[in-house]
Amino acid sequence: MINGKKYSWEDISVMLPHGEAVDIQGIEYSDGKEIEAVYGKGSNPTGYGAGNYSAEGKLTLLKEEHDKFIAYAKRQKTSLYKLPPFPITVSYANEDQPTKTDVLKSCKINKVSHSGSQGDKQSKVEYEINILGGIVRDGLEPN
């Protein structure tokens, strides 16, 4: 943190397969690992068991950025859902600090939603994604 400045939306850059996303209004991503308490004698856990890891995300794009993604898929001669798994790179760059980068590895689009209503000043398209390769947070592997 320099002079009290925290990371804000203007400090985030998102790279999609077709290039840097300019007409993007949001990105969300999360992951988790199944952890379950294991019980033996008594009522307290004696340990734990670990299950599967999973990760998912969401992009909110303006129609213009969505159109760039469509053009990219057309150049690949496929649909959005049949694109090979691709990375999404999210970089956080704050003044006078090293850039922090998260990589969403092997993403697949599983849902695309369009919305529009009377009075809207912009047209948004939401992508839901499965992150099959996990989320690498500033070089830290998820598993």
- Write the CA distances from 123 to 30, 51, 111, 119, 129, integer angstroms: 25, 40, 17, 11, 20
Domain ranges of the chain: 9-137
For the question of whether the overall pTM of this predicted structure is more than 0.85, the answer is yes
Q: Express each pLDDT in 27-63 by its tens digit.
A: 999 999 999 999 999 999 999 999 999 999 999 999 9
Least confident of 3-12, 76-85, 92-101: 3-12
pLDDT of residue 96: 76
CATH number of the 9-137 domain: 2.30.110
Task: Supply the mean pLDDT for the chain.
Answer: 94
CA dist., res. 45 & res. 38, Å (int): 5
Q: Express each pLDDT in 112-121 by its tens digit.
A: 999 889 988 9
What residues does 52 pair with on adjacent strands?
A: none
Question: Going by C-beta distance under 8 Å and a sequence separation of 6 or more, which residues neighbour residue 68?
Answer: 18, 19, 23
